[in-house]
Amino acid sequence: MSPLYGAAPPYGGMPPYGAAPQPGAMPPYAGGYPPPGYPPAGYPPSPYAPRPYWAAAFAVNKHVGWFVVNWLFFWPLAIYSLVAHFLKIDQSLMMGDQVGAEAHAASVKKLGIIALIIGCVFFAIGIAFDAFVLSSVNN
C-alpha cells in the first residue's frame, strides 16, 4: 500500500522526487565532501596538490624513435634503456616529477645514439670481414 500524495514517507524511506528535504536532514555534502565551489573563489590552488597525469604527459618527448633505433641496432643496450629509463618516464610524470621524466627521456635518446654508433661500427666490421674473407677465398 503506497502512502497518500503529500504524506510523509515511512521511517527510513526516501522523500518523493523534487520534494523539499525534511527538517533535520543531512545536507548532501555532509559525508566528507566539500560543498560545490570549494575552495571559495579568490583562493589559489594548493601547491601541494598533485598534478593530474595528463597535465604533464604531453610536455615530455619520450624519444620513442631513438628507443626503436636502440632495439634495431644493439638490443643489449636497448634492454638496459627499457628497464632503467624508458619505463620510468611515465612513472616520473605520474608522480609529478617532470624534470626526472625529461632526464630519463634524454638518457633514452643518448643510449639510442650510442646504439646506432655501435651498430654502424659492427656493420662496417662485418663488411670489412666479408671483403677480406671473399678476397682470400678467390685467390
Q: What is the mean pLDDT of residues 78-96?
A: 91
In the structure, what pLDDT confidence band is assigned to residue 116 with cuts at 50, 70 and 90?
very high
Q: What is the mean pLDDT of residues 72-78?
A: 94
Q: Which residue ranges make up each domain of the chain? A: 61-138
Q: What is the pLDDT of residue 44?
A: 64
What torsion do the CA atoms of 54, 59, 60, 62 make, to the nearest 10 degrees?
A: 70
- If one counts every other C-beta atom within 10 angstroms of the C-beta of residue 10, the result is 8
Q: What is the mean pLDDT of residues 62-89?
A: 94
Statement: residue 67 has pLDDT above 50? yes
Q: What is the pLDDT of residue 137?
A: 75
Cβ neighbors of 69 (< 8 A, separation 6 or more) are 112, 115, 116
Q: What is the mean pLDDT of residues 38-60?
A: 60
Global pTM exceeds 0.85: no
Statement: residue 65 has pLDDT above 70? yes
Q: What is the pLDDT of residue 114?
A: 96
Cis geometry, peptide bond prior to residue 39 (ω within 30 degrees of 0): yes
C-alpha cell at 10: 515511512
